[in-house]
Chain A
Amino acid sequence: MRGTDFISELEASIEGSLVGRDLEAVDPWLEIAADKILETCRWLKESCEIRFDGLQCITAIDWFEPDPKKASKVKWEPHTEVVYHLWSTKARASLVLKVKLPRWQGNEPGKLPELSSVVSVWRGADWHEREVFDLSGVQFNGHPDLRRILCPEDWEGYPLRKDYEMPLEYHGMRGR
C-alpha cells in the first residue's frame, strides 16, 4: 500500500467507517465498520484519489476454536472476519479491508451474519460473494443471485467454518 493520505480523507468523508488499522503489518490493513462497507468501497472506487477499481479477492475467516482446551487460551473472541483485497490498476497499489462480523446474527446459531453486497461496486464480487456465502456462511444483502456456487444447492452447513462436520450421508452416498 503506497501513500496513506487517503486514509484521513476516508475518515473525513465517511464518518465512523474506519474502526481499526495496522499499517505495520506485512500487508497493512484497515478495519471497516460492517454497516459502512458498501459506502466505503464505493468511495474507494469512485472518489478516492487512488482509484481502487479492481477487486482481487473476498475471503471469510472463521475465528472459532472448536477444542475447548485450546479455546480457553486464545486471545480473541469468536467471530467471522471478511477480508477484501482491492487493487488499483493505475497506481498498481493494493489495499486490504477487514470487517468483523458475529459468527451468527444475534448469537442465534443458524442465523447467518449479514453484510452489504459490493456487487454494485465491482461486478467481479458476484461469484466471490457467492463462494463466501457457500463455504463460510455470510449473508450478503443486496446480492442479485445469492446461492451456493461450489457445493450442490441442497448442501447443508458451511464447510470452511471451524466447527463444520462432514455429513455422514448425502443422497445415499456415504460421507466418511
Chain B
Amino acid sequence: MVQTLDEDQRIIEFDVRTDEMLVNMGPQHPSTHGVLRLVLRTDGEIVSELEPHIGYLHRCAEKIGENLTARQWIPYTDRMDYLAAMNMNLGWSLAVEKLLRYQVSEKARHLRVLIVELNRIASHLVGMGAYGLDLGTFSPFLYAFREREKILDLYEEVCGARLTYSYITVGGMTADLPPGWLQRCEAFLDQFEPIIQEYHTLLTTNAIFVKRTATIGVLSPEMAIDYGCTGPVLRGSGVDIDLRRDGESIYTAMYDGYAFEVAVMKNGHYPRDHKYPAVPKDAVLGDCWHRFFVRMLEVVQSMDLVRQSIDRYSQCKGALGEPLKLAEKLPAGDTYLETECPKGQMGFYLVTDGTPIPWRVRARSSSFSNLAVSPELCRGCLIADVPAVVGSLDVVMGEIDR
C-alpha cells in the first residue's frame, strides 16, 4: 500500500517528538548538592527555562530562634551551612555582640580568625571535590575529602564535634585549644600546601575540566549585584568585594593587622602573591571556571591567614575570656550583620524586646540569593551543563531552606 504524504508525517511526528519537554532533576539527585529540585523546560538538548524548587530541608530555624535565648540558638546556626558551621556560629555571635556592644578578648579574636579560616578551607575543599563529581570525575572528590578529614580531626580535638561544632559562641569560645593543637595544625598546613598544586593539575588546568567550565554560565557583574549574589560567585564576576575588608567595623576589626589578598580579577589579573596557574585562554570572566578558581585562591589566602593567626594567638598574653551567660539579657533594639562566609555573605538580623529571648530572628542566606540567579545562567545552555552551572554556585541546601 502506498502511503500518502500526510500519513507519513504523522508517523514521523509520533516517533520523534519535536515539542518542548519538561525534565525533572531531583530532589534526590547526586548533582544537586542536597535536596534541590530543578525543573527544566527543554527543547531537544537545550534548556529554555529552569526553575529551582526549594524548601525540602525547611526546619523553621527562624521560628525556633524566637523561643530560645541567643546563645541557645547557636546549634541551629550549625545546621544552616553545615559545611562551614564555624562561620555560621561566628556570624550569629558577632550579630549578638554588635547589639550588646561587646568586644571579645584579643586572644579570642585571633582564635576566631584561626578557626573560621580553617573552616573556609574545609568548605572550599568540599566545593571543589563535589564540583568534580558534578562534572563526572570522581577522584578529586576523594583527594579533597582526604585533606578535609584532617581538618575535621583537628576540630574534633577542639570541640568534640566533626560537623556541627557550636564552638564559637556569644562572647568568645566554649573552650580553649587543647595542648599541642597548634603544632598539629601547623603540621597539617605544611603537609597540605604542596597538595594544592595537585588539585590544580587534577582540575583547574585539566583540559577536559576547562572545556566543561569555561564560557559556561557567564554571570555579568551587574546581574550578580542585582540578584544579590555574594562571595565567590560575585568575585568570580570580577566585583572586588570581600566583607573581611569592606564589612562593618565589628567584623573587619577581627582581621585588623592581618595581611591577605582578596581573590578577585583586578586589572586583568588575579593576585600575584603566590604562584597560581594561568587563566586559560577560553575562560571568560564570570563563567564557571572563574568561580571555581576564586575558591581555589581563597584556600591559599585562608592558609596564610591561619598561619598568621597561629603566630598571633601563641604570642597573645592574657586569658581567653568566658563566653556570656546562657540567658544574657539583650537590650531592646534590632541589628543586622553580614559576615563573609565561604559560600557568600551570610546575614543575621535580630530584633529584641529587652528579654534574653529575641523577638524575631532572621537568617539571610548567601546560597539563597546565589541560587536565585541560576535560571538566568542556565537559559540556553545544554542539559549536561546544568550541573556544571549549579555546581559552580556551590550552594548548600541547609542554608537555603533554613
List residues of chain B with CB within 8 A of the CB of A53: 225-226
Contacts A26-B98, A26-B335, A127-B369: A55 and B54 contacting too (C-beta < 8 A)? no
8 Å CB contact of A57 from B336, B372, B402: B336
Decide if A85 touches B336 in the complex (CB within 8 Å): yes
Decide if B226 touches A123 in the complex (CB within 8 Å): yes
Decide if B226 touches A124 in the complex (CB within 8 Å): yes
List residues of chain A with CB within 8 A of the CB of B117: none
State in angstroms the CA–CA spacing of A61 and B239 once bound together. Answer: 32
Decide if A124 touches B349 in the complex (CB within 8 Å): no
List residues of chain A with CB within 8 A of the CB of B239: 89
Query: Interface residues of A, CB < 8 Å — how many?
Result: 30
- B interface secondary structure, majority: mixed
Decide if A61 touches B359 in the complex (CB within 8 Å): yes
State in angstroms the CA–CA spacing of A34 and B55 once bound together. Answer: 29
Decide if A149 touches B241 in the complex (CB within 8 Å): no
Q: Which of B230-272 contact A (CB under 8 A)?
A: 239, 241, 246, 248
Contact indicator per residue, chain A 25-58, by CB within 8 Å of chain B (1) or not (0): 1110000000000000000000000000111110
Is B360 among interface residues, defined by CB-CB distance under 8 A? yes
Q: Which of A5-31 contact B (CB under 8 A)?
A: 25-27
A66 to chain B, nearest CB (A): 12
Is A151 among interface residues, defined by CB-CB distance under 8 A? yes
List residues of chain B with CB within 8 A of the CB of A25: 333-334
List residues of chain B with CB within 8 A of the CB of A112: none
State in angstroms the CA–CA spacing of A85 and B63 once bound together. Answer: 20
State in angstroms the CA–CA spacing of A149 and B402 once bound together. Answer: 12
Is A135 among interface residues, defined by CB-CB distance under 8 A? yes
Decide if A59 touches B338 in the complex (CB within 8 Å): no
State in angstroms the CA–CA spacing of A122 and B223 once bound together. Answer: 10
List residues of chain B with CB within 8 A of the CB of A27: 334-336
Contacts A26-B335, A123-B226: A61 and B63 contacting too (C-beta < 8 A)? no
Decide if B368 touches A127 in the complex (CB within 8 Å): yes
Contact indicator per residue, chain B 210-232, by CB within 8 Å of chain A (1) or not (0): 00000000000001011111000
Is A160 among interface residues, defined by CB-CB distance under 8 A? yes
Decide if B336 touches A96 in the complex (CB within 8 Å): yes
Is A138 among interface residues, defined by CB-CB distance under 8 A? no
8 Å CB contact of B227 from A83, A96, A124, A152: A124
Is A92 among interface residues, defined by CB-CB distance under 8 A? yes
State in angstroms the CA–CA spacing of A122 and B225 once bound together. Answer: 9
List residues of chain B with CB within 8 A of the CB of A94: 248, 336
Decide if B60 touches A124 in the complex (CB within 8 Å): no
Is B298 among interface residues, defined by CB-CB distance under 8 A? no
Decide if A85 touches B228 in the complex (CB within 8 Å): no
State in angstroms the CA–CA spacing of A168 and B338 once bound together. Answer: 37
A140 to chain B, nearest CB (A): 15
Decide if A26 touches B372 in the complex (CB within 8 Å): no
Decide if B360 touches A59 in the complex (CB within 8 Å): yes
8 Å CB contact of B228 from A62, A124, A152, A160: A124
A60 to chain B, nearest CB (A): 9
State in angstroms the CA–CA spacing of A152 and B364 once bound together. Answer: 20
- Name the residue among B223, B228, B333, B347 with the largest chain A CB count within 10 angstroms: B228
Is B200 among interface residues, defined by CB-CB distance under 8 A? no
List residues of chain B with CB within 8 A of the CB of A150: 54-55, 58, 401-402
Q: Which of B172-188 contact A (CB under 8 A)?
A: none
List residues of chain A with CB within 8 A of the CB of B347: 56-57, 85
Q: Which of A151-174 contact B (CB under 8 A)?
A: 151-152, 159-160
Decide if B349 touches A85 in the complex (CB within 8 Å): yes
Contact indicator per residue, chain B 99-116, by CB within 8 Å of chain A (1) or not (0): 101000000000000000
- Name the residue among B55, B229, B359, B402 with the largest chain A CB count within 10 angstroms: B55
Q: Which of B354-380 contact A (CB under 8 A)?
A: 359-360, 362, 364, 368-369, 372
List residues of chain A with CB within 8 A of the CB of B225: 53-54, 89
Is A126 among interface residues, defined by CB-CB distance under 8 A? yes
Contact indicator per residue, chain A 105-141, by CB within 8 Å of chain B (1) or not (0): 0000000000000000011101100000001000000
Is B351 among interface residues, defined by CB-CB distance under 8 A? yes
List residues of chain B with CB within 8 A of the CB of A152: 55
Decide if A83 touches B372 in the complex (CB within 8 Å): no
17 A-B interface contacts by CB (under 8 A):
A25-B334, A26-B99, A26-B335, A54-B225, A57-B336, A57-B349, A57-B364, A59-B360, A59-B362, A85-B349, A89-B239, A92-B246, A122-B226, A122-B228, A124-B228, A150-B401, A152-B55
List the 6 closest A-B pairs by CB distance, nearest first: A124-B228, A57-B364, A150-B55, A124-B227, A150-B58, A59-B362
Q: Interface of B with A (CB < 8 Å)?
A: 54-55, 58, 60, 62-63, 98-99, 101, 223, 225-229, 239, 241, 246, 248, 333-336, 338, 345, 347, 349, 351, 359-360, 362, 364, 368-369, 372, 401-402
Given A26-B335, A85-B364, 18 more contacts at CB 8 Å?
A: A26-B98, A26-B99, A27-B336, A54-B225, A56-B228, A56-B364, A57-B349, A57-B362, A83-B334, A122-B227, A123-B227, A124-B229, A127-B368, A127-B372, A135-B62, A150-B55, A159-B63, A160-B360
